[in-house]
Chain A
């Protein structure tokens, strides 16, 4: 059985200008121990999807619908009281910015112990021992000496490690990492990604990794969701997404990436800007920026349907299969020839 099953999730925000459809019909599921990567540009609804699952959207102006079954319980219908017990215990989250997500006026030991004491009836000493153990596991040097330090005494990478320690302290079944490495240097990013993978194997947690970096997704994800303008454009196994991408937006993302192993004179660019979610384009939301747009794309919103011969690989595009196969091969072929030529 899937650990988390999300069906037709919608999140709308009421704003002064109208209703922003931040997530518009997203469905996916994740199994225990699996890693799901969600990629997309800023504003595509990646973070809001996860915040909705966690029940962390502001109540006043948010309308959510759909289902999110976690261990058989619909999180969208759970009371805040019960959600508080799940959050930080069964589902934990790592946020993007380690500079602002730790409380600057408490020591990190205090903050780590708080997470333990909130969910477990244990004496303080035991909570502190657990905090220390986690700090050691995430590779903080001299953990005994640093447990009583304040967040400002740590570097960015170290703070992100503290965040990971805090997220994992209660052995969560699901870890949601929202751009955990975006603010970090490549060397630190490599350390943090290695750490997440290592701890995931140790604890058997499932991970949802939200990122805009296709490289990060390729390295750690099993399943990939490509989001565009609040909807899923393509979904499938990581190898299939990278070896047989079926959506023009995915091609655009892959082509716009400068690569270490390929010399490209000009990057493939996706023209224009992501659309406003206040008034998303009619039909397929990608059509104003799509090089392959046809008449049908302007009027009919494509449904997320399996690729012929690949039941687990879904895509939402009107383009015929032959053109897609040809274009995908052309794109991947370009990378391959450049890599071998250079």
Chain B
């Protein structure tokens, strides 16, 4: 394997047949001053050292609050944005530095579904054109076969193929999202990145779209990277889940591990903030309410990025030393957490989240 400038924590154990490998991906947006003589005064650290591998046919869920770098990361992976540093390996090929022409065959393999079905479809183009565009760009088939393919796709996503000639405004939000999915499916991609595909939809329509995505995955052996801020939705659809905060992965694990025994205080706080549609359970549960807002990624906190809001903050440790995303002795090898003082058990209330100082002093790594 070629050498990369990777920090120790970024080294992944790879088997070699992963569909996508992201290594120490960073994306900084420069902040400049001056009109003629521009100079960089700061950088927004939107994504700061994210590493993970995606296997074929699985669904990766990425959760986090707005501004944590989820979407930026997705855009870097499909090369809609150029990353500042790090590597993106797709199907064994490093695509990080490929030119537009070189990238083209790989663009066929990864597609994106966007959040807002009202903004992501060109209002002046007919649905048939929108879905067919990828086929035309990649010069797949004759006009007649393209039309047939488009109608087939519309049927696959549950729309009437006769609606080929309609405009996006004639469809409801859920139907538009189906058009977006048909567009993403058009050239048989391997990987689909779904950037909040259901957050703009009503619950009943959301269920339809989630079911559709699952069916398509089964039928076409798709791999999903599913980005959402709704933890229920991510739990429903994902095999593995990453929790992001300020551009870094805070905890990663197989769905059941992460949701049933979260180790990072941030994951715990997120989970306990989700409203439960069961009045008795909701009333009896102890909730952890985080104070304040997410700090600015322009000037992220020193040490652990979560320390400013963390109920288990220990001075002199958390604000100095950046914890690594590592698995622990008592955790399964798939479960990794970026915390000096991971949670011992779950569920915990506000009180339980606070660190027992005496216990931590004697065994800080326990």
Does B122 belong to the interface (CB within 8 Å)?
no
Q: How far is the CA of A179 from the CA of B208 in the complex (A)?
A: 23
Q: Which residues does chain A contribute within 8 Å of B208, judged by CB atoms?
A: 269-271
State which size class the interface on A falls in: 35 or more
The answer, among A158, A187, A243, for a CB contact under 8 Å with B65, is A187
Does A342 belong to the interface (CB within 8 Å)?
yes
Q: Which residues does chain B contribute within 8 Å of A254, judged by CB atoms?
A: 277
Known contacts A260-B235, A266-B211, A269-B207; A187 and B202 CB within 8 A of each other: no
Q: Which residue of A lies closest to B233 (CB)?
A: A258
Does A327 belong to the interface (CB within 8 Å)?
no
Q: Which residues does chain B contribute within 8 Å of A260, judged by CB atoms?
A: 231-232, 235, 259, 271, 274, 276
B279 lies within 8 A of A191 (CB):
no
Q: How far is the CA of A186 from the CA of B290 in the complex (A)?
A: 10
Number of A-B contacts (CB under 8 A): 132
Q: Which residues does chain A contribute within 8 Å of B229, judged by CB atoms?
A: 185-186
Q: Which residue of A lies closest to B283 (CB)?
A: A219
A193 lies within 8 A of B278 (CB):
no
Contact with A along B211-242 (1 / 0, CB 8 A): 10010000000000000011111011100000
Does A218 belong to the interface (CB within 8 Å)?
yes
Does A329 belong to the interface (CB within 8 Å)?
no
The answer, among B203, B231, B233, B279, for a CB contact under 8 Å with A242, is B279
Most buried by B among A190, A216, A253, A254: A190
Does B172 belong to the interface (CB within 8 Å)?
yes
Q: Which residue of A lies closest to B280 (CB)?
A: A239
Q: How far is the CA of A266 from the CA of B289 in the complex (A)?
A: 31
Does B270 belong to the interface (CB within 8 Å)?
yes
Contact with A along B142-183 (1 / 0, CB 8 A): 000000000000000000000000000000101100000000
Q: In the assembled complex, how far is the CB of residue A154 from the closest CB belonging to chain B, in whole angstroms?
A: 9
A-side residues, CB < 8 A to B, are 41-42, 141, 155-158, 185-191, 193-194, 212-219, 238-239, 242-243, 252-261, 264-271, 273-274, 335, 342
B-side residues, CB < 8 A to A, are 65-66, 172, 174-175, 202-208, 210-211, 214, 229-233, 235-237, 256, 259-260, 269-283, 287, 289-293
Apart from A215-B275, A271-B208, list 10 A-B contacts with CB within 8 A: A185-B66, A186-B274, A187-B290, A213-B203, A213-B275, A242-B278, A252-B204, A259-B276, A265-B214, A270-B208
